[in-house]
Amino acid sequence: MSATHAHDHGHDHHGPEGFFGTLKHYVTTTNHKDIGSLYLWFALIMFFVGGAMALLIRLELFQPGLQFVRPEFFNSLTTVHALVMIFGAVMPAFVGFANWLIPMQIGAPDMAFARMNNWSFWLMPPAALLLFSSFFVPGGAAASGWTLYPPLVIQQGISVDMTILAIHIMGASSIMGSINIITTILNMRAPGMTLMKMPLFVWTWLITAYLLIAVMPVLAGSVTMLLTDRHFGTHFFNAAGGGDPTMFMHIFWFFGHPEVYIMILPAFGIISQIIPAFARKPLFGYASMVYATASIAILSFIVWGHHMFTVGFPASGQLFFMYATMLIAVPTGVKIFNWISTMWKGSMTFETPMLFALGFLVMFTLGGFSGLVLAVTPVDITLHNTYYVVAHFHYVLFGGAVLSIMAGVYFWLPKWTGRMYNETLGKWHFWLTAIGFNLTFFVQHFLGLAGMPRRIPDYALQFAEFNAISTIGAFVLGISQLLFFYNVLSCIKSGAKAADKPWEGADSIEWTLLPTPAPYHSFETPPVIK
Amino acid sequence: MHNKLLKWCLSAMSLAMLSGGSFASYDVNIPPPKTVIAHQIYNLHLYILVVCAIIFVVVFGWMFLALLKHRKSVGHKAEQFHENTTVEIIWTVIPFLILVALAIPATKTVLEMKDTGNADMTIKVTGYQWKWEYDYMQDGVRFFSNLKTPRDQIGEPNAPATAQKNPEYLLEVDNPMVVPAGKKVRLLITANDVIHGWYVPQLGVNQYGIPGFIKEVWINVDKPGVYKGQCSQICGKEHGYMPITVVAKSEEDYKAWTDEQKKKAAASAEDPSKVWTLDELKAKGQQVYAANCQACHQANGMGIPGTFPALNGSKIATGPKADHINTVLNGKAGTAMQAFGKQLSDTEIAAVVTYERNSWGNKTGEVIQPADIKSARK
């Protein structure tokens, strides 16, 4: 492809058409837009698969007693639901955004390592297949919770080994993707695009990529030790052999805590693009946002013990992790205040992306409050491993990460496809999601406070009412996501043609310097940024 | 199929509404605290909740105001400011100070929770798959605490519950842990197989039992009463079915209970020279099987294909009895079949092995005496 003429055909590709032609194209593509779309489609499918598992879980929990699934299968459902949503839906969706947007937002023609980018994606479907096939092997899928604690996980069948392999594959994908992202951002920015002029989305991904490189190998180490304890005679986590189950928890959560920030920092980036666009006002406190994001990332390495407050640390350990965890509230609060200040004295409109961004602000903050409650060690003692924790992380992960992904899809669909989604359907999707989500998860705070443990298929009678309400909410939530699926599909197929700048206040260079839809190859000549 | 689902939904909803009347619970707070630490936890949570509620109202009131007034549709024009160092410093420092205000009482409670010294007595608590064991080491009293709710109240897929759920559904045990009220009781918490969690909210305790390690907590129950809890760390298929009941008694009642337990322990120490008949062993064995083996191997001995092996017609239960005894005593490494040697007496193991070898389709005719088990233990 020569750089002397612009390619204006959006998603056209050169080469044989037809089914196998298209298949070959996508299997071999090195184009960041194609790969971004592949990640996003993969994530959407995984979202529905994981969602179906969640509905099965809530179905069983609708009433006390065992009606639909056996307890061991229920435990597999909770385990795989989490693995699919974390590794199959949220993380790949954010990588999809990274692929689509980072080159366009920094004025680069593509990612630094375009071919490795292709491998990063294509590792994911086999890993997903491995994870799903684990349901069909003797013993059923892993049933230890996604946290895979030994000694329980040592007892379970070959599905655990399949899960470990899937985790290794997905980890390799993430590490390669992160190397790509860091190299691209540090080396391929257009002239004049200093680090402090980059859109905040690019900053959040730069920091997230470092987190991924730091902790995915730690996860890999921990699950490899599980593998050798299971099959090769080691006893890392077996007291009888001189080992300690607690060590697994330390290693796992050293990965696990930064992992949850990996899942929210890109969300912060997306919201930081959307709110200024719909307030028609620049992001408030850009520099503080960068420093706050970096502080959150650094702090995320020293708080892992708050997942282990019931293990039995000495007082000094409990106190250290309590203080460090509470501290994260400060930079996080700064970000919330900055977003609201962006809106303050702006000129807002409330199209679907903005609705989802506002939903994010409220839901994520609520999740932050329940996180603060859990950070206080003595209170965590009464709430650890109850539904309060389930409520907390769904508020930050669904109310935070997933709402931001939906906001971002609605926001950038015009840029990606040249077409508008249906605004009425988008608003319906938002309100049904907001109502369904809160119905499902708000009552779970009460269940946790009342003492209902998590990861149980059946419960005592005093928990029945809120469980019934939560299940109804879950079905409202689950079914309304079909609206999203339909809206995306019909937008791509037959949406109204989008204006070159459909969002009046959007001012990053993918909006101001590129046509809509963005050409298949963009910025082959780097722009000069003033 | 549709009709069946519809009927199920309608009866579930009416059952929910009917039973809602008697057991309806819309509890939104921590259950009433009954120890010094539990009181502190309860108050700390309330304090933090109020602080969060105030912050929520202030922050989202501010946002709501912006949504109302600073929108394009009412003609508001966007200003272009995008920083204010003073304001940013203020809203960094004030949250930090609020956190300090929360951390101070929390620190006090953490330190108090860790002070297990000068206890009046100690109980060792061990989590098993799927029951708890309480060992009053200084009294020589030791027993297991199992879920008491009958399986026919629980039901299973394709075999709905045939009995109505009683008010203590899933929270009742056969042998509760008994403690004296008003005394500092130290609990040493551990586990036999996988990680379990001993969690009784009203007593302010939630402590993992980690196999091979012992963790200390303490309780001092305000007054006599009955307090319930559940296992709080996923430990396998029956994780939701291993509850905890703590009964706090007055000092005199507690002493009476301890004396009674010691007498029971002495009485149930069986005569090691007794020779049991096949029928006696099978009858006792069936009880042991129901309490310990049935969850996995099923009442009909057919297990769950692919997950838990069948005993009916299996090589283990019809082949050499030494292998069968060894499997029950020592478990099978790398599987969920644990070593029952520590949990069950010689008589109980002899009975259950005899039962398994002479039930369903198995007809070995073999009788295993307690003495056989005793000599198999090494």
Q: Which DSSP string corresponds to A454-520?
A: SS-SS--GGGHHHHHHHHHHHHHHHHHHHHHHHHHHHHHHHPPBPPSS-STT--SHHHHSS-SSPPS
Average pLDDT over residues B46-53: 96
Task: Give the one of A65, A72, A366 whose C-beta lies nearest to B161's C-beta.
Answer: A65
Known active-site residue A146: yes
Residue type, position A144, single letter: S
Known active-site residue A384: no
Which uninterrupted H or E stretch holds B217?
strand B215-219
Tokens standing for B348?
């109980």
So what's the pLDDT on residue A16? Answer: 61
So what's the pLDDT on residue A5? Answer: 41
- Of A11 and B58, which is predicted with more confidence? B58
Which CA distances in Å does B170 have to A438, B119, B196? Answer: 28, 31, 17
pLDDT at A456 over 60: yes
CA dihedral A26, A29, A33, A36 (to 10 degrees): 60
- Of B365 and B20, which is predicted with more confidence? B365
ipTM of predicted complex: 0.92
The answer to whether B171 touches A456, Cβ cutoff 8 Å, is no
Known active-site residue A395: no
So what's the pLDDT on residue B140? Answer: 84
Q: Note which residues in 309-328 of chain A have CB less than 8 A from chain B.
A: 310-312, 314-315, 318-319, 322-323, 326-327
Q: Select which of A39, A261, A421, A503 is catalytic.
A: A261
Q: How far from the centroid of its chain's Cα atoms is residue B350's Cα?
A: 28
So what's the pLDDT on residue A3? Answer: 40
Q: Which residues of B touch A145 (CB under 8 A)?
A: 234
Q: Which residues of B touch A200 (CB under 8 A)?
A: none
The answer to whether A264 touches A400, Cβ cutoff 8 Å, is yes
Query: Across the beta sheet with B215-219, what order do the strands follow?
Result: B141-145, B131-136, B121-128, B185-191, B215-219
Average pLDDT over residues B91-110: 97
pLDDT at B167 over 90: yes
Ordered structural domains, chain B, with CATH: 36-70+86-113 (no CATH), 121-154+170-268 (2.60.40.420), 278-376 (1.10.760.10)
Question: Looking at A314-318, A513-517, B13-17, which range is the least confident one?
Answer: B13-17
The partner residues of A114 in beta bridges, in order of sequence, read none
% of chain A with per-residue pLDDT over 70: 97
* CB-based contact, A337 to chain B, within 8 Å: yes
pLDDT in tens, B322-362: 999 999 999 987 788 888 998 888 899 999 999 999 999 99
The pLDDT-based confidence of B21 (bands split at 50, 70, 90) is very low
Q: Select which of A78, A120, A174, A470 is catalytic.
A: A174
Q: Select which of A32, A58, A189, A335 is catalytic.
A: A335
pLDDT in tens, A306-323: 999 999 999 999 999 999
pLDDT at B40 over 60: yes
Longest dimension (CA), chain A: 72
CATH superfamily of A33-246: Cytochrome c oxidase-like, subunit I domain (1.20.210.10)
Residues in chain B: 378
Minimal-distance CA residue of chain A relative to B89? A334
Residue type, position B28, single letter: V
Q: Note which residues in 30-69 of chain A have CB less than 8 A from chain B.
A: 62-69
The answer to whether A471 touches A62, Cβ cutoff 8 Å, is yes
Q: Note which residues in 133-192 of chain A have CB less than 8 A from chain B.
A: 138-140, 143-145, 149-152, 154-157
The pLDDT-based confidence of A4 (bands split at 50, 70, 90) is very low
pLDDT in tens, A397-449: 999 999 999 999 999 999 999 999 999 999 999 999 999 999 999 999 999 99
Known active-site residue A173: yes
Q: Which residues of A touch B71 (CB under 8 A)?
A: 347-350
- The CA distance from A188 to the nearest CA of chain B, in Å, is 28
Of the segments A12-26, A109-123, B78-92, B290-304, which one has the largest average pLDDT value?
A: A109-123
Known active-site residue A455: no
Where do the domains of chain A lie? 33-246
The answer to whether B212 touches B189, Cβ cutoff 8 Å, is no
Which of B54, B70, B242 to mutate to probe the A interface, most A CBs <10 Å?
B70
Q: Select which of A146, A339, A388, A511 is catalytic.
A: A146
Q: Select which of A168, A281, A306, A419 is catalytic.
A: A306
Which of A228, A318, A379 to mutate to probe the B interface, most B CBs <10 Å?
A379
Burial A480-515 (b: 16+ CB within 10 A, else e): bbebbeebbeebbeebeebeeebbebbbbbbbeebe
pLDDT at A17 over 90: no
Q: Which residues of B touch A354 (CB under 8 A)?
A: none
Dist. CA B315–CA B2, nearest whole Å: 43
DSSP secondary-structure letter at A397? Answer: I
Known active-site residue A516: no
So what's the pLDDT on residue B243? Answer: 97
Known active-site residue A72: no
